[in-house]
Amino acid sequence: MNGDGQRTPPENPGPVLVIIPTYNEADNVAPIVTRVRSSVPDAHILVADDNSPDGTGKIADELAAADDHVHVLHRKGKEGLGAAYLAGFRWGMDRGYDVLVEMDADGSHRPEELPRLLDALPGADLVLGSRWVPGGSVVNWPKSREILSRGGSLYSRLLLGVPIRDVTGGYRAFRRTTLEGLGMEQVASQGYCFQVDLAWRTVKSGFRVVEVPITFVERERGDSKMSRAIVIEALWRVTAWGVAGRLGRLFPRRG
| Domains within the chain, CATH numbers bracketed | 16-250 (3.90.550.10)
pLDDT tens across the length of the chain (255 residues): 555 666 666 566 789 999 999 999 999 999 999 999 999 999 999 999 999 999 999 999 999 999 999 999 999 988 888 999 999 999 999 999 999 999 999 999 999 999 999 999 999 999 999 999 999 999 988 888 888 888 888 888 888 888 999 998 999 999 999 999 998 888 877 666 889 899 999 999 999 999 999 999 987 665 555 556 666 666 666 676 666 665 555 445 554
Q: Distance between CA atoms of 57 and 187, rounded to whole angstroms? A: 26
Q: What pLDDT score was predicted for residue 144?
A: 83
Helices (H), 77-168: 81-94, 114-119, 143-160
Q: Distance between CA atoms of 230 and 234, rounded to whole angstroms? A: 6
Q: What pLDDT score was predicted for residue 99?
A: 98
0.95 exceeded by the pTM? no
Q: Distance between CA atoms of 129 and 122, rounded to whole angstroms? A: 15
Encoded amino acid at 122, one letter: P
Say which residues have a Cβ less than 8 Å from residue 141's Cβ, sequence separation at least 6.
216, 218
Q: For residue 100, give the nearest of 46, 168, 166, 169 by alpha carbon.
A: 46
Find the length of the chain.
255
CB 79 within 8 A of CB 188: no
Q: For residue 18, give the nearest of 112, 122, 102 by alpha carbon.
A: 102
* Residue 141: Cβ-neighbour burial (10 angstroms; 0-12, 13-18, 19+): middle
Q: What pLDDT score was predicted for residue 160?
A: 87
